Chain A
Amino acid sequence: MMSTVNSNNEENNGEDMSITTPSTSSLSSVAANHASQRQPGNAPLGSGLEARGIHAWFGKHHALENVSLDFAAGTVTALIGPSGCGKSTFIRTLNRMHEFIPSAAMAGEVLLDGKDIYEAGTDVTKIRLQIGMVFQKPNPFPSMTIGQNVLSGLKLAQIKSPKNNDDLLEECLTRAGLWTEVKDRLDAHAGGLSGGQQQRLCIARSLAVNPKVLLMDEPCSALDPGSTLRIEDTIGQLAQTMTIIIVTHNMQQAARVSDYTAFFLSDGGPGQMIEVGPTNEMFSRPKDQRTENYVSGRFG
């Protein structure tokens, strides 16, 4: 899959939309290509993740209004939209990272396997073990070695993996597409890796605690095109076994990796979810005029 995409859109791999404004037709062909190649996930999947009526505030500022979205198990959903539309805020409500920002508040329900993660008495650390997160900027722990970074989640959450550490290390790094590059220097410090390698290390780190859902908040925006493709490749592999939700500014990326796409927009007020649908439909025949304008590159 990657090779065809690569040759078609080599110059569009970066994140900066101002450089390229892809036409709707090329996006929809990429999306259709992805859809045709996509194998349904075969993981022991639960019922996925479901957001119901999410609102978010920062102090008095209403950042997100009444967003409801279903993420079926084993699918990849891309959240797209211009800056400030609330998509990053939304993704951070899905694993309760939103509440770390002082003055942040939210309303609504997020159901993981039918159970609200905001229910009183819920152990939030357990929630974050099941819903992992990869951030915009690669953030490995610089005081730890590569191996320690991968296993850090086990130590931080004080849990034991059923596998032994060496096997787990190899498995996670392989799934993140990093094993062959680092297998001879697992004891080296993580700071010596390139940005793309660091980001894949962060993905491997998230995998070690065996999450059901992986949230990715613009995971490639700080990376070069080559590293971006490696990560997208990794996402394709991971989608076999888990539910992935990815925020991206890059519509090409949404077309390449996602099964579903949700379009967020703020008209000056709180951000709203305008439209959601299968990715190839979103890029070929969106229902809403605003979505059409955005994916055809008329604004944003």
Chain B
Amino acid sequence: MSMSSLLILTLIGLFLSVRGFQAFQTQGLGFITKVDWTAGVDGGKDSFGLGAMIIGTLVISAIALVIGVPLSVLTALFLTFYAPERIKKALVTLVDLMASFPSILFGLWGFIVLMPMAEYWAKLIHKYVGWIPLFKMPSPAYTRSPFIAGVVLAIMIIPIVTSVSREIFGQTPLDRIQAAYALGATRWAMIKAVVLPFGASGVVGGAMLGLGRALGETVAVYSVLNIVFKVNFQVLYGFGGNIASMIVGKWGEASLSESKALLAAGFVLFVMTLLVNLLANFIVRRTVKTGK
């Protein structure tokens, strides 16, 4: 089972790198560092640089994590330590089930319900902390931005991060929990002293799994962002994009050389996702082993 998935993974990696090889060859290191993406027309010169999209991918994913992980941790703590026994089992089953759903289902809900709200939040953020360069706003157009894409992504990763965190919190050794209570700790004090130190690396592992999903998210980002090849750190401002959505956006009308470059972009995403998942695996495994 694991052998066959490894084989498929290797084949995909090989396919992407072989097909995209030409792009790496002609563009060199610039393929990763340059920020412009122009397909040469009528014998003109191609220039394919993925820099802006790599940064966009990281920025949007980071926003998703900053919003999604704290909410997930609080939800997991609620499920483990606060939810009434009667409904706990049902809630846990529900969350675990949600974690296995395709995240686009939550994304759809995010578009319809959350986006109008996120617009309002963006305005608030700009109003109160707009002096921070990160939240600068060159023009008052709040509907499409990396921030809103990040919010939608956050909703999409919350179930998986919650599920993993809950699993870890539930394994907190009972004798430590009792030790804290026996010393006169309130529930929250016990959680801070015992559960969070115990579960921290597990939460990081869960967040990495969420990040793996966020990195590859396509439709959600494509629907809320104008794909523009320019590095954008002003997260409330309306352009950006990530690699996955960029590939989908360009694929339809790509020339032969451009489609090779898109496959090469796919390879870059492949490597990024692989690294994140390996890291997650490593962290989660270390948690289970040391029990700390």
Contacts and interface: CB of A to CB of B under 8 A. Distances in A.
Interface of A: 95, 97, 100, 102, 125-126, 128-129, 132-133, 135, 137, 139-144, 152-153, 155-159, 202, 205-206, 209
Nearest to A191: B292
A128 B292 contact: no
Interface range on chain B (Cβ under 8 Å from partner)? 20 to 34
Contacts of B256: none
B178 A157 contact: no
Given A141-B193, A141-B194, A156-B193, A202 B184 contact: no
B184 A133 contact: no
List 6 tightest A-B contacts by C-beta distance, closest first.
A156-B185, A157-B184, A143-B197, A153-B183, A129-B184, A139-B175
A139 B184 contact: no
B193 A95 contact: no
A142 B292 contact: yes
Nearest to B180: A156
Contact of B85 (A102, A132, A139, A144): A102
A247 to B, nearest CB: 14
B103 to A, nearest CB: 33
Contacts of B189: 155-158
B101 interface: no
B183 A97 contact: no
B131 interface: no
A156 B175 contact: no
Contacts of A141: 176, 179-180, 193-194, 197
B182 interface: yes
18 contacts: A95-B182, A126-B184, A128-B181, A133-B182, A135-B182, A140-B179, A141-B176, A141-B180, A141-B194, A142-B176, A143-B197, A152-B193, A153-B184, A156-B185, A156-B186, A156-B193, A157-B185, A205-B183
A125 B182 contact: no
Contacts of B183: 128-129, 132, 152-153, 156-157, 205-206, 209
